[in-house]
Structure 1
């Protein structure tokens, strides 16, 4: 990731939740990193300073926001899943 200018896109109370969003961005072609991931596991304190932060390069911030704001369509998922199950 280009570290010249990094933007924090979202903060999470747990590393597990942050990893889900990191995977989502990476699958969309956006390089990202987690900040405080280890600290939150070692010192599980619930305060804003210990939150896990999801960071992207400034040039990728808009694309990252679009990916994270997309809504999950359960009906579309179910339809596509059924189609794939029917294939041999």
Structure 2
């Protein structure tokens, strides 16, 4: 699903935080993916953060859902 039409809406230092955010978005009906999922576990915290990406048309709704959290 990750391609050029995807937008990074948030970055996390741990994969656990990214998974929680992805779950929140899924509960709101927004499909999200985690970019750098495996690389973020190999590098020290902050070097290669896990990024939540969504389709560009879902960007604002996704940001709103995560802002509530």
Which band: TM-score by shorter chain? 0.7 to 0.9
Bigger RCO of structures 1 and 2 (CA < 8 A, at least 6 apart)? 2
2:33 aligned partner: 33
Structure-1-length-normalised TM-score:
0.70
Structure-2-length-normalised TM-score:
0.87
Which structure features the higher share of strand residues?
Answer: 2
CA-atom RMSD, angstroms?
A: 1.7
Which structure features the higher share of helix residues?
Answer: 1
Radius of gyration: which is bigger?
1
Gap regions ≥5 residues in structure 1:
72-88
Give the count of matched residue pairs.
69
Q: Which runs of 4+ in 1 moved over 6 A?
A: none
